């Protein structure tokens, strides 16, 4: 069957969410038209000139170490500098790890922010990094990590909202906001986590990302760095896939039945809560049946040599799908290297840092990200695509060996981000950290600054307004400043 994920919920008309969304995927109901118009009337009518058409947001969840990646300190004591050495890069002052040789040779294509920092020293900084706002207080499940309805909307959700209302008469063939290869937390122990930061929050679930789903083999498996077969890499969007019994003919018959249902419920159809529903449902049906989105997900259309350059692991192939999504028209694609909490070699390197970084994490990042930059440049997409790569935190400027289990703990007070394309001035180093890469010396950068930079690059004024669920205008960013020095 054509499945819609999520628990049944009733809206104020009395219909369940599943009844309203039976065809075409989840999250298609619009905001109240009157309140939305009132909120949008308060927005600024002109925005900045766009430098980029789209964003690929590469999210290394768990917290990569600044001292083992882009801000090494070879003169620091051994219990600070760690096990690896820097190598020469095309950016003279960049201290980059020896296990990132491809990225070292391409450093003239990207900028490195060395002074990203915030005070949320935990993995819940996933909210801060993906929204630009601190995590609000909420009930977040037994592990205190789950998303909540009052969360701030993810940057991709804001872009989706902007696109819907800027192009109301021009339906999109590809959703604006895409999440690959899984929703954040879904790969962890059977998906028991539904991590914060990735959703639209109070902006409304209709602006959630459309996410694919890739399964791992079982406990202890980490497909992000191991070789994956094509059978494992069948990217499909959750809620928009055809089951074995669903044909296009049956789908259109279901559409006809739903139209009959709506005709019999004219009072509901006339309500303000469903005024925009028909157009949104029709757009979803067109997206589902056109074949455009399925073609974009089909990795078999790419040359084998190109797929090899990215790496046949889940991270590399997800980046390639991300490029295909951008090429097909998506505007904000998040590619997450998630952290299976029952498998080794995650970026949360409290233990086994040396082996996991040397053997898996750094080679996978080096291969995949360098291939993405090359591919975007060769296809002519790099100038109009902003690539952002970072984690939610860094690691402590203290390298510890706990009986052979070497590692670093959480550290949110100074860590790097890499930006490329979309007008970024390659070879730029922004900000400087202290002698131990523990704190910024100059040009500290907050998550709000980073989000403001991304929004402005896309032509969205970071100090404009978006409507909340009651239609009241809310400032998109609170005090963030775009980092214009990063751009040509």
pLDDT tens series, the chain, 488 aa: 333 233 333 333 333 333 333 333 333 333 344 444 444 444 444 678 999 999 999 999 999 999 999 999 999 999 999 999 999 999 999 999 999 999 999 999 999 999 999 999 999 999 999 999 999 999 999 899 999 999 999 999 999 999 998 887 777 889 999 999 999 999 876 667 899 999 999 999 999 999 999 989 988 899 999 999 999 999 988 665 545 555 545 545 555 555 554 555 544 444 444 444 444 555 555 565 567 888 899 999 999 999 999 999 999 999 999 999 999 999 999 999 999 877 777 899 999 999 999 999 999 999 999 999 999 999 999 999 999 999 999 999 999 988 778 999 999 999 999 999 999 999 999 999 999 999 999 999 999 999 999 999 999 999 999 998 888 999 999 889 999 999 99
Residue bearing tokens 């090494």: 72
Calpha distance 49→458 (Å, rounded): 8
Tokens of 400: 């510890």
Nearest CA to 60 out of 407, 452, 345 is that of 345
Calpha distance 426→170 (Å, rounded): 35
State the Rg of the chain over Cα: 22
* Torsion sign over Cα 197, 201, 203, 207: positive
How far is C-alpha 79 from the chain's CA centre?
A: 34
Task: Give this prediction's pTM.
Answer: 0.85
Other C-beta atoms lying within 10 Å of the C-beta of residue 101: 17
In a 13 Å sphere around the CA of 201, the CA atoms on its Cβ side amount to 27
* Torsion sign over Cα 160, 161, 162, 167: positive
Calpha distance 467→450 (Å, rounded): 22
Beta carbons of 354 and 97 less than 8 angstroms apart? no
Tell me the sheet residues that pair with 55. Answer: 332, 386
Tell me the sheet residues that pair with 211. Answer: 179
Other C-beta atoms lying within 10 Å of the C-beta of residue 301: 9
Calpha distance 245→390 (Å, rounded): 42
Beta carbons of 387 and 373 less than 8 angstroms apart? yes
């Amino acid at each position: 069957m054509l499945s819609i994920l999520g628990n049944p919920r009733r809206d104020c008309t009395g219909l369940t969410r599943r009844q309203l969304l039976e065809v075409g995927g989840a999250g298609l109901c619009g905001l109240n038209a009157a309140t939305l118009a009132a909120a949008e009337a308060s927005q600024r009518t002109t925005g900045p000139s766009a430098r980029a058409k789209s964003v690929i947001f590469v999210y290394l969840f768990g917290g990569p170490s600044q001292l083992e990646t882009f801000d090494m300190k070879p003169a620091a004591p051994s219990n600070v500098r760690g096990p690896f050495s820097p190598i020469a890069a095309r950016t003279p002052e960049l201290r980059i790890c020896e296990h990132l040789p491809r990225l070292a040779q391409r450093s003239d294509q990207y900028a490195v922010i060395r002074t990203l920092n915030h005070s949320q020293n935990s993995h819940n900084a996933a909210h801060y990094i993906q929204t630009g706002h601190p995590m609000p207080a909420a009930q977040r499940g037994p592990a205190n990590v789950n998303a909540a309805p009052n969360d701030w909307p993810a940057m991709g959700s804001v872009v989706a909202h902007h696109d819907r209302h800027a192009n109301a008469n021009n339906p999109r063939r590809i959703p604006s906001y895409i999440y690959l290869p899984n929703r954040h937390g879904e790969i962890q122990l059977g998906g028991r986590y539904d991590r914060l930061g990735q959703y639209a929050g109070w902006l409304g679930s209709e602006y959630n990302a459309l996410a694919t789903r890739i399964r791992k083999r079982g406990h202890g498996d980490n497909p992000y760095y191991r070789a994956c077969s094509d059978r494992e890499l069948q990217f499909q969007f959750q809620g928009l896939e055809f089951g074995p019994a669903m044909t296009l003919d049956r789908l259109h018959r279901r559409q006809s039945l739903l139209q009959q249902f709506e005709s019999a419920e004219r009072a509901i159809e006339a309500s303000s809560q469903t005024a925009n529903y028909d157009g949104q449902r029709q757009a979803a049906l067109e997206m589902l049946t056109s074949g455009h989105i399925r073609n974009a997900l089909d990795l078999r259309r790419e040359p084998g040599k190109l797929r090899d350059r990215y790496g046949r692991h889940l991270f590399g192939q997800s980046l390639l799908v991300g490029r295909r999504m951008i090429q097909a028209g998506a505007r904000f694609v998040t590619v997450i290297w998630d952290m299976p909490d029952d498998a080794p070699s995650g970026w949360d390197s409290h233990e086994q840092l040396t082996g996991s970084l040397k053997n898996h994490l750094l080679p996978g990042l080096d291969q995949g990200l360098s291939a993405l930059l090359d591919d975007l440049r060769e296809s002519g997409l790099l100038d109009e695509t902003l690539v952002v790569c970072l984690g939610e935190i860094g690691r402590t400027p203290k390298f510890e060996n706990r009986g052979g289990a070497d590692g670093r703990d959480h550290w949110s007070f100074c860590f790097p981000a890499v930006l490329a394309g979309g007008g970024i001035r390659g070879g730029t180093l922004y900000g400087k950290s202290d002698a131990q890469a523990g704190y910024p010396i100059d040009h500290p950068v907050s998550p709000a600054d980073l989000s403001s930079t991304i929004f402005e690059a896309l032509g969205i004024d970071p100090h404009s307004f978006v409507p909340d669920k009651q239609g009241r205008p809310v400032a998109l960013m609170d005090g963030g400043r775009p980092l214009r020095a990063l751009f040509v």
